Structure 1
Amino acid sequence: MKARSRRLPAEWEPVGAVLMAWPRADGDWAPYLPAVRACYRELCAAISRHAPVLLLSATPEATAQELAHLGTGRLRVWASPAQDTWTRDYGPITVLESRGPEGEAPLLLDFRFNGWGGKYQAGGDNRATAAAWHGGAFGLSPLEPVGLVLEGGSIESDGAGTIFTTSSCLLSPGRNPQLDKAAIETALIAQLGARRVIWLNHGELCGDDTDAHIDTLVRLCDPGTLAYVSCDDPGDPAAAPLQRLEAELQGLRTAAGGPYRLIPLPWPQARFAPDDGRRLPATYANFLILNGAVLVPSYGDPSRDQAAQAALAKAFPCHTIEAIDCSALLLQHGSLHCATMQIPAAVFQ
């Protein structure tokens, strides 16, 4: 396979559906179930205005009934073995393969998911994509299993061959210990059609258990624009790592050779877990780009919430900016982008 025969589309390209998973009553969400399901109802409703929702559930009939008001044309529910809700990390990563004069054809890649480097049990999540595909959730598009451990939240694509990731995540010993950096980069080139891989070496969020997923820190808004988490409080433990990240971004160049346009996002007010008091990894970088809209997490912090929305309005002048209260999602150390996986429109054509 030639590296340039396939590409990983950018998130701002046409979206055919968004994959999510309904919080299980017997899973990790049990202590917070009413709050998180209320958040999911709001999130499903917001997404369904822009793209259909494919919802995985352990109790599909009951879930479909609870969300029946969204309409069958905007919501489809599938029985699933998924244990957790973070479809960004175990859902399919869709590449588009060049077919010459025939254009591009989608291919769903089912990478291994091992609970963020073996931190959590993840057997059901690892089987979720194949189960949904066998059930017909992704139409007639083919599915290819891939032995590499890779989470969707650990990569960002500009749609033209540039892939962003972080060294602390993809080089963590719990994911692919048999592979060094060169081997992992070779795999990204082969599987995702990357022409260049940009490894970020700085930046981390307090409370993050993903080993610094790129989608918690830095996001592409267009091929030349990066939105990133910043912190101007020198007393905050995150300040120094995020300042080093900012300096690193300032030194990057686009594929065309120019500097990236950088849009700083505020560091949300500190939120803490009710059980152990640990700081939660709140981040405005965990937004979702849809057809003509950007859904942005909010955290009950009006000044910073509004500042983040204003910053992203500059980054996406042709999109509507819609805020979703994701305070409940923080309780399991995730947010809006983590809970969703866009499926390109080509999958359903």
Structure 2
Amino acid sequence: MAFRMPAEWAPHEAVWIGFPSSADAWGAPLQRAQQQIAAFANAVHASGQGERLHVIAGSAEAAAIAAELVDSGIHVEQRHIGDVWLRDTGCIIVKDGDRRIARDFGFNGWGGRYDYPGDRTIGAELAASAGLEIRKADWILEGGSIDVDGQGLAATTADCLLNPNRNPTLDKAAIEARLRDELGIDRLLWLGDGLRNDHTDGHIDNLARFVGVNHILIPQGAGANDPNSAAFDDAHKRAEAFGCQVSNMPSVGRFMQDGEAVPASYMNFYIGNHNVVVPIYGAENDDAAITTLAALFPDRKVVGVMADAVLTGGGSFHCSSQQIPV
């Protein structure tokens, strides 16, 4: 066998969740973002015999707030964390049988956009605290830029992985080779553009997610006013041509914050051991998104949690979390 990145629906031992901590980074939405991240953690925890939860706060003050907001049984830790997006700054854990390795990829603030102290070190720090063997990778890769079915198939966007602000010396073939060697990905579905105004350069976890082996979920545009209809249509065509089973997810549609259409997406859901937590926004398709996921995950409870304040920081629940497979 070889080391491979498990699918998110494979059993988890634990999950790390970043907790909004910096008023400088979050501004006025900080308090509501903290409440929504805590509600996400509580929803995962409420599933009962699930994974252990570790909420990671960046200051003593934030840790005290988190401890007040989350359920008893959720472990709150204060660590030197830059921003909450542990999907991108945390290690990606691969498995070969019962052996696990934490792949510690490079991180450059999403192409140099946001440079917070702690973001380059938190992944290895958390992996070490979990007793995991760590192997450093010498190139930039964010966990939110890939999604896998656990059987060697992954999806990504050219918008992100081929952006010269990440790995300017690596071409498509070189990236495919590295993903094969380090994450066990031997088939890579290249999608095109990500969501409009996504400062990650179009992470896949806002656009398309695997919900089964070779089975991918992609939104349908919510009418002519949806700024992402063309990206969704293109993703559908590419996935079908690649040979994937494709299911449809409702789109949030045009979602405005501070006069700008922002990348609100139901695709940023987290698949826990016993439930699926989907971000909702007080939008027309919130209930339809929950119903869609409930049909796809009949063995898990699907829970919608408000995420509009979390979105002001540039992501949602999947972005803020990184699981530890058993």
Q: TM-score, normalised by structure 2?
A: 0.93
Per the alignment, residue 323 of structure 1 pairs with 304
* Matched position secondary structure for 2:179: helix
Q: Percent identity?
A: 34
1:268 paired with 2:252, answer yes
Q: Distance in 2 between matches of 1:249 and 1:66?
A: 40
Per the alignment, residue 78 of structure 2 pairs with 79
Q: Describe the superposition over 1:282-314 as per-residue Cα deviations: whole angstroms up to 9, x where unpaired.
A: 01111110112111111112x400111111112
Per the alignment, residue 171 of structure 1 pairs with 162
1:22 paired with 2:16, answer no
Which residues of 2 match residues 195-274 of structure 1 at below 5 A? Answer: 195-201=186-192, 203-253=193-243, 260-274=244-258
One-letter code aligned to 2:82:
Q
Deviation of 1:328 after TM superposition, in Å, equals 0.8
Q: Is the 8 A contact 1:226 1:262 kept in 2?
A: yes
Deviation of 1:123 after TM superposition, in Å, equals 4.0
Q: Distance in 2 between matches of 1:172 and 1:47?
A: 34
Q: Distance in 1 between matches of 2:183 and 2:200?
A: 21
Q: Distance in 2 between matches of 1:66 and 1:333?
A: 20
Which runs of 5 or more structure 1 residues have no equivalent in the other structure?
98-102, 254-259
1:180 paired with 2:171, answer yes
Which runs of 5 or more structure 2 residues have no equivalent in the other structure?
none
One-letter code aligned to 2:149:
D
One-letter code aligned to 2:118:
G
* Matched position secondary structure for 1:53: strand
Deviation of 1:220 after TM superposition, in Å, equals 0.4
1:155 paired with 2:152, answer no
RMSD of aligned alpha carbons: 1.9
1:306 aligned to which of 287, 290, 300: 287
Q: Is the 8 A contact 1:48 1:70 kept in 2?
A: no
Per the alignment, residue 51 of structure 1 pairs with 51
Equivalenced residues, count: 323
Per the alignment, residue 5 of structure 1 pairs with 2
Deviates more, 1:203-212 or 1:58-67: 58-67
Per the alignment, residue 261 of structure 2 pairs with 279
1:296 paired with 2:278, answer yes
Q: Is the 8 A contact 1:161 1:194 kept in 2?
A: yes
* Matched position secondary structure for 1:81: coil
Q: Distance in 2 between matches of 1:148 and 1:79?
A: 28
Deviation of 1:157 after TM superposition, in Å, equals 1.1
Deviates more, 1:209-218 or 1:74-83: 74-83
Deviates more, 1:205-214 or 1:6-15: 205-214
Q: Distance in 2 between matches of 1:25 and 1:117?
A: 21
Q: Describe the superposition over 1:224-279 as per-residue Cα deviations: whole angstroms up to 9, x where unpaired.
A: 321112104134332222212222222122xxxxxx332211221422222xx221
Per the alignment, residue 63 of structure 2 pairs with 63
1:113 aligned to which of 97, 107, 111: 107
One-letter code aligned to 1:240:
A
Q: Is the 8 A contact 1:112 1:148 kept in 2?
A: yes
Q: Distance in 1 between matches of 2:206 and 2:272?
A: 18
Q: Distance in 1 between matches of 2:30 and 2:71?
A: 23
Q: Distance in 2 between matches of 1:235 and 1:76?
A: 43
* Matched position secondary structure for 1:205: coil
Q: Is the 8 A contact 1:92 1:109 kept in 2?
A: yes
Deviation of 1:70 after TM superposition, in Å, equals 4.7
Q: Is the 8 A contact 2:37 2:310 kept in 1?
A: no
Deviation of 1:71 after TM superposition, in Å, equals 5.8
Q: Is the 8 A contact 2:274 2:301 kept in 1?
A: yes
* Matched position secondary structure for 1:28: helix
Q: Distance in 1 between matches of 2:274 and 2:66?
A: 27
Which residues of 2 match residues 185-196 of structure 1 at below 5 A? Answer: 185-196=176-187
Q: Distance in 2 between matches of 1:53 and 1:218?
A: 25
1:131 paired with 2:115, answer no
Deviation of 1:204 after TM superposition, in Å, equals 2.6
Larger radius of gyration: 1
One-letter code aligned to 1:93:
I
